């Protein structure tokens, strides 16, 4: 198996660490009280115990994170209610992304701990990443750049509308 090194991803992790060495606040805890309709944040859906937010440093268009509101790092510490809502919101996210973006597949998962690749390891979050056939190309490998073709605010507006539409239809 060949390995494709992606050192540019470490810039995100390192930049987050350097920004927050003096500031011990958690970006996910700060987003708990954010208003979905506000343009000042990337939160797209508010559940009872869990919310959905766009990734500020997306791997692909529509890269969302499903996040428990409670500050918890370990999967084992999640309650049954939190896990049930995480699963429900992952399903809702997939449904919304299929209708808006028409991806060919998804990567879904969580990185538990720094060693597993978590950029923010103190607050568990689950990635829902739409994928398309051919969405990898020479740009990251040769140009050390990943092309994200849609503005985050536009993605947010489309997702908020779709989540509301899906909920109105009880999907």
pLDDT in tens, the chain (171 residues): 454 555 555 554 454 444 444 445 899 999 999 999 898 899 999 999 999 999 988 888 899 999 999 999 999 999 999 999 999 999 999 999 999 999 999 999 999 989 988 888 999 999 999 998 877 644 444 444 444 556 788 889 999 999 999 988 776
**pTM of the complete model beyond 0.85:** no
Reduced to 3 states (helix: H, G, I; strand: E, B; else coil), residue 95 is: helix
Q: How far is CA 158 from its chain centroid?
A: 15
Clarify whether 11 is annotated catalytic.
no
- Using CA atoms, how far apart are residues 80 and 86, in angstroms rounded to an integer? 10
- Find the angle CA(145)-CA(119)-CA(17) to the nearest 5 degrees: 95
What are the sequence ranges of the domains in the chain?
Answer: 21-168
Q: Do the Cβ atoms of 71 and 122 come closer than 8 Å?
A: yes
**123 and 29 Cβ atoms separated by less than 8 Å:** yes
Place of tokens 């343009």: 39
**Distance (Å) of CA 154 to CA 43, 45, 100:** 13, 15, 12
Give the ranges where the chain is alpha helix by DSSP (H). 8-20, 27-32, 80-101, 138-143, 152-168
Q: What's the CATH architecture for 21-168?
A: 2-Layer Sandwich (3.30)
Q: Which residue out of 63, 123, 125, 127 is catalytically annotated?
A: 125
């Amino acid at each position: 198996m060949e390995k494709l090194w992606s050192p540019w991803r470490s810039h995100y992790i390192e930049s987050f660490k350097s920004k927050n060495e003096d500031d011990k606040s958690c970006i996910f805890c700060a987003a708990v009280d954010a208003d979905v309709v506000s343009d000042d944040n990337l939160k797209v859906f508010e559940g009872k115990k869990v919310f959905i937010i766009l990734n500020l440093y997306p791997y692909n268009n529509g890269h969302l994170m499903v996040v428990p509101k409670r500050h918890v790092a370990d999967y084992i510490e999640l309650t049954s209610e939190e896990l049930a809502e995480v699963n429900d919101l992952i399903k809702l996210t997939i449904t919304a992304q299929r209708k808006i973006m028409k991806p060919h597949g998804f990567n879904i998962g969580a990185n538990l701990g720094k060693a597993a690749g978590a950029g923010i390891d103190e607050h568990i979050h689950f990635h829902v990443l739409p994928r398309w056939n051919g969405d990898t190309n020479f740009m990251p490998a040769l140009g050390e750049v990943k092309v994200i073709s849609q503005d985050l605010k536009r993605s947010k507006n489309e997702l908020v509308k779709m989540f509301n539409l899906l909920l109105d239809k009880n999907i």
